[in-house]
Amino acid sequence: MPELPDILLYLHALEPRIGGARLQRIRVGSPFVLRTVDPPIADLAGRAVGSLRRLGKRIVIGLEAEYFIVLHLMIAGRLRWKASGAPIPGRGGLAALDFSSGTLVLTEAGSTHRAAMHLVHGEAGLAAHDPGGLDTFTATFEQFREALTRESHTVKRALTDPRLLDGIGNAYSDEILHAARISPLTLTGRLQNAELERLYAATRATLSTWITRLRAETGDEFPETVTAFRAGMAVHGRFRRPCPVCGAPVQRIRYARNEVNYCPTCQTGGRVLADRSLSRLLKQDWPRSLDEWEARIGARENPPTE
């Protein structure tokens, strides 16, 4: 699932391509992608792009007269920048947004139909799509601590809850917890102030590092490889490979379609967290899939759940 650094990378690439451009038309290639009927598609045609922003993991394209296109990529949705009028791919193609400067194509791997596009009129309507999590770059430590300790859950869950923190998912939560030297299954209600301070600093530093790194790697090109598994990550997707800090083999816990990656030496005092013994905790504290957060917080788009 594209997370905060990936969404910002898309926005960085879109700004010079569609900023100020005029939307000519929206083409829908899949009946599952468009989740709204009001306003109608025709109302947006001919309007210029006035803003680009992020709401959690959603990309928002703002048009004249407070019309908005909200793109939620979910797990497998991706964006492609093509020449004007490019066809929607027959396999995995969901929609195309034709601008005066080129065509933005929305695709999705697989057949789960989670990626979504909403058309919205008015700031109030747009606000309904905001999960409400804190922006960790603007939140104070006190706000961060209050959000994480409001309820007692595993710190892994808390970091990825969009009601609490903004834009963090499975991949970067693994990296943040490794940098903070905290076990992913520590309950937030038991975190000491020093641990919370480390977590706050690690969250900001990890996300900032990856935002800078991805922009440097992509340059002026449109990002074609947005993935949760990147070279240079410390633990995410590195099961049995050496931790870059201590050299211990990275371990993982799997539950349904979720995965936790961690270093037992750096994070759990040398203990390997066994899947079987923790299954009850995982079942109680985690959704079966990350996008199931949407159903849990009453998301208006009503995505399918596992």
Strand 23-28 vs strand 49-55: parallel, antiparallel, or unpaired?
Answer: unpaired
The predicted-structure confidence for 92-116, as pLDDT tens digits, reads as follows: 999 999 999 999 999 998 888 899 9
Q: pLDDT confidence of 304, banded at 50, 70, 90?
A: very low
- Helix or strand (DSSP H, E) at 6: helix 4-18
Q: Which of 182, 189, 144, 192 is nearest to 166 (CA)?
A: 144
Query: Please, are residues 258 and 290 in contact by the beta-carbon 8 Å criterion?
Result: yes
- Helix or strand (DSSP H, E) at 17: helix 4-18
The single-letter DSSP state of residue 230 is -
Instruction: Find out whether the peptide bond into 39 is cis, omega within 30 degrees of 0.
Output: yes
Give the 3-state secondary structure of residue 280. helix
How far apart CA 30 and CA 103 sit, in angstroms, is: 17
**297: how many CB neighbours lie within 10 A of its CB?**
13
Q: pTM for the whole thing?
A: 0.89
> Which pLDDT value is given to residue 120?
98
How far apart CA 102 and CA 20 sit, in angstroms, is: 12
> Which pLDDT value is given to residue 58?
97
Q: pLDDT confidence of 193, banded at 50, 70, 90?
A: very high
Domains and CATH numbers, the chain: 4-127 (3.20.190.10), 141-296 (1.10.8.50)
> Which pLDDT value is given to residue 163?
95
How far apart CA 233 and CA 263 sit, in angstroms, is: 12
Residue 184 to residues 2, 140, 181, 278: CA-CA distances in angstroms? 20, 22, 9, 12
How far apart CA 241 and CA 244 sit, in angstroms, is: 9
Strand 49-55 vs strand 251-255: parallel, antiparallel, or unpaired?
Answer: unpaired
Average pLDDT for the chain? 90
> Which pLDDT value is given to residue 248?
95
Strand 77-82 vs strand 102-108: parallel, antiparallel, or unpaired?
Answer: antiparallel
Q: pLDDT confidence of 10, banded at 50, 70, 90?
A: very high
Residues forming a β-bridge with 143:
none
> Which pLDDT value is given to residue 274?
63
> Which pLDDT value is given to residue 258?
75
- Find tokens 């045609």 and name the residue: 45
- The interaxial angle of helices 170-180 and 193-218, nearest 10 deg, is 130
Identity at 197, one-letter amino acid code: E
Residues forming a β-bridge with 72:
58, 116
Instruction: Find the mean pLDDT for residues 11-40.
Output: 97
Choose the weakest-confidence range: 6-15, 155-164, 287-296. 287-296
Choose the weakest-confidence range: 39-53, 99-113, 284-298. 284-298
Q: Which of 226, 244, 255 is nearest to 4 (CA)?
A: 226
The predicted-structure confidence for 213-238, as pLDDT tens digits, reads as follows: 999 999 999 999 898 889 999 999 99
Q: pLDDT confidence of 164, banded at 50, 70, 90?
A: very high
Query: Please, are residues 21 and 82 in contact by the beta-carbon 8 Å criterion?
Result: no
The predicted-structure confidence for 238-287, as pLDDT tens digits, reads as follows: 999 999 999 999 999 887 667 899 999 999 999 888 655 455 555 555 54
